[in-house]
Amino acid sequence: AEHPLFNARLRSPNVTQSFSTNDFSDVIAADKAHVWHHLTQHKQYESTDPRIMIEGKGMRLWDATGREHLDGVSGGVWTVNVGYGRESIADAVRDQLVKLNYFAQSAGSIPGAQFAERLISKMPGMSRVYYVNSGSEANEKAFKMVRQIAHKRYGGKKHKILYRERDYHGSTISTISAGGQFERNAQYGPYTPGFLEVPHCLEYRTQWDVENYGERAADAIEEVILREGPDTVGAICLEPVTAGGGVITPPVGYWQRVQEICRKYDILLHIDEVVCGVGRTGKWFGYQHYGIEPDFVTMAKGVASGYAAIACLVTNEKVFDLFKEDATDPLAMFRDISTFGGCTAGPAAALENLRIIEDEGLLDNTTAMGDRLMANLNALADKHAVVGQARGLGLFCGLELVSDRASKTPAPEAQVQAVVADCMRQGVIIGATARAIPGFNNTLCLAPALIATADDIDAITHAIDEALGNVF
Residues at the site binding ligand PLP, with contacts judged by CB under 6 A: 77, 134-136, 139, 168-171, 239, 243-244, 272, 274-275, 300
β-bridge pairing 160-164 and 233-238: parallel
Least distance in angstroms from the C-beta of 49 to ligand PLP: 26
Least distance in angstroms from the C-beta of 134 to ligand PLP: 4
Degrees, nearest 5: CA angle 114-117-120:
145
Least distance in angstroms from the C-beta of 460 to ligand PLP: 20
SS3 324: coil
Least distance in angstroms from the C-beta of 448 to ligand PLP: 17
Q: 70 φ, ψ to 5°?
A: -95, 120
Alpha-carbon distance 222 to 236, whole Å? 11
Non-local CB neighbours of 450 within 8 Å, separated by 6+ positions: 81, 82, 83, 279, 280, 357, 362, 363, 365, 366, 369, 395
Least distance in angstroms from the C-beta of 167 to ligand PLP: 7
CB nearer to ligand PLP: pick between 51 and 301: 301
Non-local CB neighbours of 28 within 8 Å, separated by 6+ positions: 49, 50, 52, 64
Alpha-carbon distance 109 to 343, whole Å? 9
Four-point Cα dihedral 333, 285, 309, 340, nearest 10: -10
Least distance in angstroms from the C-beta of 242 to ligand PLP: 8
CB nearer to ligand PLP: pick between 101 and 171: 171
Between the two ends of the chain, the Cα-to-Cα distance in Å is 15
Four-point Cα dihedral 166, 167, 170, 175, nearest 10: -90
Non-local CB neighbours of 234 within 8 Å, separated by 6+ positions: 146, 147, 149, 150, 154, 158, 159, 160, 161, 267, 268
Task: Return the bridge partners of 432, or none.
Answer: 444
Least distance in angstroms from the C-beta of 4 to ligand PLP: 34
Least distance in angstroms from the C-beta of 136 to ligand PLP: 3
CB nearer to ligand PLP: pick between 216 and 301: 301
Residue 303, number of CB atoms within 10 A of its CB: 30
Least distance in angstroms from the C-beta of 168 to ligand PLP: 5
Alpha helices (runs of H) in 61-181, residue ranges in sequence order: 87-99, 110-120, 135-154, 173-177
Alpha-carbon distance 342 to 151, whole Å? 28
Instruction: Tell me the CA distances in angstroms from 391 to 103, 254, 370, 383, one per residue in order.
Output: 44, 16, 11, 16
Least distance in angstroms from the C-beta of 253 to ligand PLP: 23
CB nearer to ligand PLP: pick between 239 and 422: 239
Residue of minimal Cβ distance to ligand PLP? 135
CB nearer to ligand PLP: pick between 134 and 461: 134
